[in-house]
Amino acid sequence: NHNEIMHHLEQEAFYSRVLTLKIGKTKEKVVLKDLQRHPFKRSLLHIDLQRVDKEQALTMRIPLHFINEEKCIGVKQDGGVISHLMTEIEIVCLPKDLPEYLDVDMLEVGINETLHLTDIKLPEGVQTYSTLHGGDEAQPVVSVHIPKVSAADEAAEAAEAAEAAEAAEGDEAAEGDDVTTESADASTKEETEPQDSES
């Protein structure tokens, strides 16, 4: 049923769990491997399912859930921001061990620190595809870093600094004019005061 499938596609777990496919009176265990959506309409053009053998390991891409982000030390104490470098990883396991997602705990991650693939806690019976095939286990997954100042922010700060400098120069010039005026007034006063005549 097309509408039923479209409804299930809105659920994250549909992409990473063993599904039961009914074909007539027969039921098959399958997983979703690929799908093709219509570029303009809310419909499917093609869906690719893989039959599951309970004795054979599956290779699946599983979403990552980042937990405790609001309590993360690097964010809460140091004002850092979190960058997600991966949102899913490829794992290998038997169908019975297939997780719907994996948690990545951000609680103890400090400023300028990074969690790598090896830092993700895997359930029993689950391995990363990289581990089994000699991939790079040091791949970064998520990091906490100091916020970068944007070019617009830098320009605004520079403009404010320039305005402040101009205002300070203007104040100094005004003070100098006042002193000059006062000196001139004093000189004029001295010149205009009558001199005592000689007796």
**pLDDT over 90 for what percent of the chain?**
45
Give the number of other Cβ atoms within 10 Å of residue 107's Cβ. 12
CA distance linking residue 7 with residue 182, whole number of Å: 85
SS3 of residue 39 by DSSP: coil
| pLDDT value of residue 43 | 78
- Checking if the pLDDT of 23 tops 90, the result is no
| pLDDT value of residue 152 | 55
Q: To which CATH superfamily is domain 61-148 assigned? A: Ribosomal protein L25, C-terminal domain (2.170.120.20)
User: What pTM, to 2 d.p., does this model score?
Assistant: 0.68
What strands lie across the sheet with 140-145, from one edge to the other? 81-84, 140-145, 113-116
The dihedral sign for the CA sequence 17, 22, 28, 32 = negative
The dihedral sign for the CA sequence 157, 159, 161, 163 = negative
Q: Which CATH class is domain 1-52?
A: mainly beta
CA distance linking residue 28 with residue 15, whole number of Å: 16
CA distance linking residue 142 with residue 89, whole number of Å: 12
SS3 of residue 179 by DSSP: helix
DSSP secondary-structure letter at 85?
S
75-95 pLDDT, tens digit per residue, is 999 999 999 999 999 999 999
CA-CA distances (angstroms) from residue 181 to 168, 178, 189?
A: 20, 5, 12
Domain-wise residue ranges, the chain:
1-52, 61-148, 149-180
Lowest mean pLDDT among 43-52, 113-122, 155-164, 187-196: 187-196
What is the DSSP secondary-structure string of 138-174? T-EEEEEEPPPPPHHHHHHHHHHHHHHHHHHHHHHHH
Confidence of residue 195 (pLDDT cuts 50, 70, 90): low
- Checking if the pLDDT of 184 tops 60, the result is no
Confidence of residue 29 (pLDDT cuts 50, 70, 90): very high
Only one residue has tokens 């030390």, namely 73
